[in-house]
Structure 1
Amino acid sequence: MASLFTPVTLRTLTIPNRIWMAAMCQYSAEPEGETVGVPTDWHFAHLAARASGGTGLIVTEATAVSPEGRISPYDLGIWNDTQVAAFQRVTAFLKSQGTVPAIQLGHAGRKASTERTWVEGGRPISPDEPYGWTPLAPSAIPFTPASTTPEELTADRIRGIVQQFADAARRALEAGFEVAELHGAHGYLIHQFLSPHSNHRTDEYGGSFEGRTRFALEVVDAVRAVWPEELPIFFRVSATDWLTENPEDDRDGWTAADTVRLAKELHARGVDLMDVSTGGIAPGAKIVAGPHYQVPFAEQVRNEAGIPAAAVGLITDPAQAQEIITSGQADAVLLGRELLRDPSWARRAAEELGGQVNTPVQYHRA
């Protein structure tokens, strides 16, 4: 029976335990100049602390495949060689601690060009302001009334972004990452194409389920073509937009059934694990969830689509995380805020539950 402390192998990559760190934006890169989008000492210290704390796999914050794909001007990117070189220092340290380095490749779409979350609530930055730009999207629909109306992508520009994902994956491999996670959740560009709430196109990239999933599948195909056969690809998905579950909300959205259907197609195209989250596409969407929040969606994807799945969201207690794994609800747990509070959560969990995770030799005491 699997536990939190059992290794898991995907393709030829063995991850030492099932306690993983979810991608969390730090908004701490330089917004301009030669070091724009480059990981800094803050990023190194932030990620290194969780690796030395015993975390089995660490996913970097959403890392943009192009400058306009950043959520904010202060996000990480991987569209040039300077960024690659800086990431090599990070991945080398993570590997030295027995942690698998993973990178989340993303494009913010219509949610791009915002302030840091602690500055005026992360308000939109208009194209007329310093560091601002016009966001891109499947349809010219702003995320909020205060957001800039995005530019609707042409089919040619969509194909160009697909290529940007592939180019970013090549650079990620050069940077030393062993897992590429594609960000298809939380209302960012891939999710914007998936959801009928944000995709009102009438061409081959809109309308039907097949049309709305076309961009996601093209991105997966392009990345799988350049990513080594022996290394896994993850896909982060919002299992539901939290619209159709709410009888008081008449907006159309992406559903759990859609997610299962997509997961089957992704698995057939070479995706190895679904990172299952929810929401993010529609401001004001009401979460209709039980005490386990998003875990049941991971379990549904795992069981109905036949693909490994990781659960994320409000997982705080070691016994809770252990139950998720031992009961077969998910193959791994992804911790977010709890790892911000306690970088050595994995080591504490091992002490509480009688498991074992990697501990730096510098911390060993006779």
Structure 2
Amino acid sequence: MEDLFSTYKIKDLELKNRVVMPPMCQYSVEKKDGIATDWHYMHYVSRAIGGAGLIIIEMTDVEPDGRISDFDLGLWFDEQIPALKRIVDACHDYGAKVGIQIAHAGRKAEDAAVPVAPSAIAFDEKSKVPRALTTEEIQEMVEKFRAATARAVKAGVDTIELHGAHGYLIHQFHSPLTNKREDEYGQDLTRFGREVILAAKSVMPENMPLVMRISAKEYVEGGYDIEASIKIAKEYKQAGVDMIHVSSGGEGQIAAFGRPGTHAGYQVPLARAIKQALDIPVIAVGRLDDPILANAVIGNDDADLVAVGRGLLRNPYWTLEAAARLNKEASIPAQYRFGF
């Protein structure tokens, strides 16, 4: 039986355990230039020292106005590569593999003078009304995803994650709530996502896995549910996605309709449903900070990897503590062994 500290391999990505640090925005860029800082270096490298198998660097955007805020990371020009490479190389030195989440915030770009989106529909009454992208601009956006992915590969990452969840641009295209277009990108809601996948794959090494994060349920009236997200995920798998990172929510206001639970592991059934329907590896995420629960998700074959967000924010050494609690072997740094 597999467990949280079993090794895992997908294509050329080999992990020493099943613990994933999911992408979590730090809003810590200092000069609004999208370049990673010493904070990012310490933040990620400490989790590598702390034993995480895979670290996915936070949402990193394909253009300046594609960021949630001006304080987010970017990969729209080459000068952003070295600071990320420094982080990746150091994490490798401490035994972790590194991914990066490539994204565009779309209508949720708070600091853009005029955000862009599939359709001119604001996120809520407090948000700016976005400008609908033209068909030509959508094709240019696909190229921006391609270029950002190529820069990430130059930075030495081991895997790429595309952000198709939480109400950001790819999600906005495949959600009927936010895509009211009449061109080919409205007639086929997954077309933009599929084109981004193909663009990313074109500049990735052949055996580097591509991960797609999706919201498997929208929790708003009129939003899609697990049955529709399985269909979306199938389209993305056929386009070349190797693994699905299964989250939920993010489109429109979170209303009483289908309100998500706050209990531990509330998104695990969504991950399990997609894993079984598509026969594809999945990452489970969402209130999985208890090592016993995280271990059970792997042991019960609900998911292949477990993302621990808040737990790793609170404690960079969550993975080492989890191994001690579960009585599993972990790569404890020699300098810390006396503590265990």
User: Does the TM-score normalized on the shorter chain lie above 0.5?
Assistant: yes
The answer on 1:333 being equivalent to 2:310 is no
After superposition, residues 252-331 of structure 1 pair within 5 angstroms as 252-286=222-256, 287-289=259-261, 291=263, 292-331=265-304
Distance (whole Å) between structure 1 residues aligned to residue 232 and residue 278 of structure 2? 9
TM-score, structure 2 normalization:
0.96
Structure 1 residue 363 displacement after superposition: 2.6
After superposition, residues 15-94 of structure 1 pair within 5 angstroms as: 15-32=15-32, 36-94=33-91
Check conservation: 1:194, 1:254, Cα contact below 8 A. no
Specify the SS of the correspondent of 1:63.
Answer: strand
Instruction: Tell me, in whole angstroms, the C-alpha distance in 2 between the residues paired with 1:186 and 1:23.
Output: 12
- The 2-side partners of 1:147 and 1:218 are apart by 28
Q: Does the CA-based 8 Å contact 2:190-2:235 persist in structure 1?
A: no
The alpha carbon displacement at 1:359 in A equals: 2.2
Give, in angstroms, the shift of residue 258 of structure 1: 1.8
Shift of 1:31: 4.4
RMSD: 1.4
Contact preservation (8 Å) 1:113, 1:134: no
Question: C-alpha offsets along residues 222-280 of structure 1, whole Å, 9 cap, x if unaligned?
Answer: 1011111111110000001012xxxxxxx322221122112222222221110000000
Q: Identity over aligned residues, as a percent?
A: 43
Instruction: List runs of 5+ in structure 1 lacking aligned partners.
Output: 115-131, 244-250
Counterparts in 2 of 1:31 and 1:111: CA distance versus 1, 3 Å: farther
Map of 1:235 onto structure 2: 212
Q: Is 2:157 the partner of 1:177?
A: yes
Q: Which amino acid aligns with 1:163?
A: E
Q: Tell me, what secondary structure is at the counterpart of 1:60?
A: strand
* Amino acid corresponding to residue 329 of structure 2 in structure 1: Q
Give the number of aligned pairs. 336
Residue number among 201, 206, 219 corresponding to 1:224 in the alignment = 201
- Does structure 2 retain, via aligned residues, the 8 Å contact 1:302–1:330? yes
Distance change >3 Å, CA 166–CA 362, structure 1 → 2: same
The aligned amino acid for 2:57 is T
> CA–CA distance in 1 between the matches of 2:308 and 2:336?
23
Output the TM-score relative to the length of structure 1.
0.89
Shift of 1:365: 4.4
* Separation of aligned partners in 2, 1:166 and 1:86: 20
Task: Provide, for residues 70-104 of structure 1, a one-character-per-residue CA deviation record: whole Å limited to 9, x for no partner.
Answer: 11000000111211011111000110111011000
Check if 1:213 corresponds to 2:181. no
For structure 2, the 5+ residue unaligned runs are: none
